[in-house]
Amino acid sequence: MFELKTISLFFVTAIAEILGCYLPYLWLKQEKSVFLLVPAAVSLAVFSWLLTLHPSAAGRIYAAYGGVYIGVAILWLWVVEGITPTVWDFVGSAVAIVGMAIIMFAPRGA
């Protein structure tokens, strides 16, 4: 149960971060409304808050989160941007997710 909660929280955190960065991208690169910066700022604030909900040390959380972020970014590429990931995108994402699992779920001494 701990593992599912941790991965789910990382997933939601990654969506918040990617959305917070994607909206300014739309404004800067695709000439969308400047008002996209408001939900972007809210999304990045939510992202920061979500990182504090994990019970582990901050450095470990940030390191492990990076692995999930990579996987979610590739899903974003596919679902939101409509670009089919390559086999190498999937392989790289899988390696990152395995790295996250090692960091977060390895047994630790007291």
Residue-by-residue DSSP string for 20-60 = HHHHHHHHHHH---GGGHHHHHHHHHHHHHHHTT-SS-HHH
This prediction has a pTM of 0.85
Neighbouring CB atoms inside 10 A of 36's CB total 17
Task: State pLDDT tens for residues 9-23.
Answer: 989 999 999 999 999
Secondary structure percentages of the chain, helix, strand, coil, to 5:
80, 0, 20
Specify if 110 maps to a domain.
no
Band of pLDDT at residue 7, cut at 50, 70 and 90: confident
Domain that holds residue 100: 2-105
Number of domains in the chain: 1
CA distance 11 to 109: 27
Q: How many residues are given for the chain?
A: 110
pLDDT class of 48 with cuts at 50, 70, 90: very high
Q: Is residue 80 part of a domain?
A: yes
Instruction: Classify residue 86: in a domain, yes or no.
Output: yes
Q: What is the pLDDT of residues 96-107, one digit of tens each?
A: 999 988 988 888
Model confidence at 1, in pLDDT bands (50, 70, 90)? confident
Q: What is the pLDDT of residue 110?
A: 61
Q: Tell me whether residue 98 is in a domain.
A: yes
